Chain A
Amino acid sequence: MITVKNLTKQFKTTSKSAGLIAGLRNIWKPEYQTVTAVQDISFQINQGEMIGFIGPNGAGKTTTLKMLCGILYPTSGSVDVLGYKPSDRKNEFLKQISMVMGQKNQLIQDLPPIDSFELNRETYGISKSEFKETVKELSDVFGLKTILTRQTRRLSLGERMKCEMAAALLHKPKILFLDEPTIGLDIITQKKLRQYIKTYNERYHTTIILTSHYMDDVKEIADRIIIINHGSLIFDNTLTALIKKYATFKTLKLILNQVPTEKTLRKLGLKYEFKYPEITLQVSPSKIAAVTAHVLKLLDVDDIDIAETDLTEIATKIFESAH
């Protein structure tokens, strides 16, 4: 469905030094800099997959997505999406994809969302009956009934985002690109949006490629993670594989019934963080059973919790090590 081979994107920019003289010098002798946003990346995505595309700011995630949907031309390498070369932007190709950008709107701000939907209906050649049915379905799922006829400019960020999402799904795309769709949304709306994306994928077997800085988005939506940093692909596998590779410890959290003595704490033989009634230990996954048994013998425990390493921590670790 999507095949990317040795994809590279470079931008040529002028570098300007500060000051008037430097500004004047730049007129007759401009200094150019080539910035490599994406460097020689290759991957393949199959139909129905849900991909989490993660990386720090400026890593090249959005640039890659924009090359996949034909907004940007690659400097070198090849991209094949649904059998098309995206940069040709053939109508048949564009009718099968959609992109939601958390920071950019496709809805007409001065008009109600339903008017933008109607424009999309004509643009994508959706029949009136299908359109009516889809709008009803999306409206039920996102709870849009009362907001579809309100001026878009007057909607809250969450309401606008739900309408953006609905507008992108009207033509039932085979591939949905989501570029930070939950940015700025409250926790409840984020959760609802994630839930709908998952349901949509299950129902229509739509391929979903998501970039997000919120690891909860990635954890809940994606079943495969692609990590990109400084334009290079540094990881491409399942979430489980990512945790297995990078999560070198699990967090053992205990709620104690009484304050342990210094001597007892020393007997733990591990690094810990203690603030009564909570004690936290980081334990190697292979030793978790033994350590738990050992700790339960030593301490008077009221409650216990074993947590996987947080995805945000893993991501931070990967990005930092790549620097």
Chain B
Amino acid sequence: MLHSVTNTIKRYFKIYLILIKYSILRDLTYWQNFIICVVIEILYQAAFLTFFGVIILQTGNIAGWGVNELIVLLGIDTITSELLTGLIIVNNSRELPAKIWSGELDHVLLRPIHPLFNLMLGRPYFPSIIGALTGFIIIAIGLIRLNYFPGIMSIIGAATVFSSGFLIVFSIVTIFSLLTFFFNDTSTLPRIGERLVYSFSSRPHSIFSGFLKTIFFFILPIVYVSSITSETLRTGIEFQYLISAVILAIIFLFITQLFWKVAIKRYTSAGG
């Protein structure tokens, strides 16, 4: 059993490496376009960070989070949103509606590999992945200003919460994208998932209370990927959050799989 799981992970990892390599090759085929995209990404990042930097510095304190804590959160959320954009959204989830309605999904379904792996991760967008690197610089600035250097356990804990949180937001984006199977010819649905994550992952989790807390901690648990990760990095592991993040990631992946099984039955394979 364990051997088979290890082999599957190895196999998917090897395939993913090839897909990454091919994505780079494709980008290099049109390298002028690639350079323009990288430059635009850097300019966008600079504008975004300047804007938010000013807001954070002026705000002073949000729901108990001081300026430096907010800078760390901003750094982690930069990594989240850039990785989400680069790994899942730009060439993958946004392309899904077109693939469904043109019948391009046929060949994906014929491959002995989970179709969602191919559809949601098959074509990374590198300018955004490069953009994610700025997040590490911002985190470092925030931690230096806090005069705090996280221990190894905090880093492992933060990495675990981040990975779980990322799987959760991956699932949310995927589920919204899969709604395309149920509605005619729309590219809006994948964007709802994106907007939800982009809009709420950057907020400190303590601003949510009551009904909103239930939503963002359990129903659409977006707070884990950036906010809880940021807190774990700064204050060490809180087992309650760590376990919740891992369990919710497993539940959301399971729901995504169920949703996929229902959605794919509606595929009509257009185009002959």
Contacts and interface: CB of A to CB of B under 8 A. Distances in A.
A148 to B, nearest CB: 15
Contacts of A179: 272
B25 A89 contact: no
Interface in B206-223: none
Contact of A99 (B26, B110, B184): B110
A151 B29 contact: yes
Q: Which of A71, A92, A95 has the most CB of B within 10 A?
A: A71
A159 interface: no
A94 B269 contact: no
Interface string B83-110: 0000000000000000000011111011
A91 B11 CA distance: 13
Interface string A102-142: 01111010110001001100111100000000000000000
A91 B112 contact: yes
Contacts of B133: none
Contacts of A70: 109-110
A97 B26 CA distance: 29
A66 B272 CA distance: 10
B26 A108 contact: yes
Q: Which of A94, A106, A110 has the most CB of B within 10 A?
A: A110
A205 to B, nearest CB: 22
A106 B26 CA distance: 16
A11 interface: yes
Given A91-B112, A101-B272, A103-B271, A66 B18 contact: no
B268 interface: yes
Contacts of A122: 11, 14-15, 18
Nearest to A37: B268
B25 A94 contact: no
Given A71-B269, A73-B265, 8 more contacts: A62-B272, A69-B110, A70-B109, A70-B110, A104-B271, A110-B25, A119-B22, A122-B15
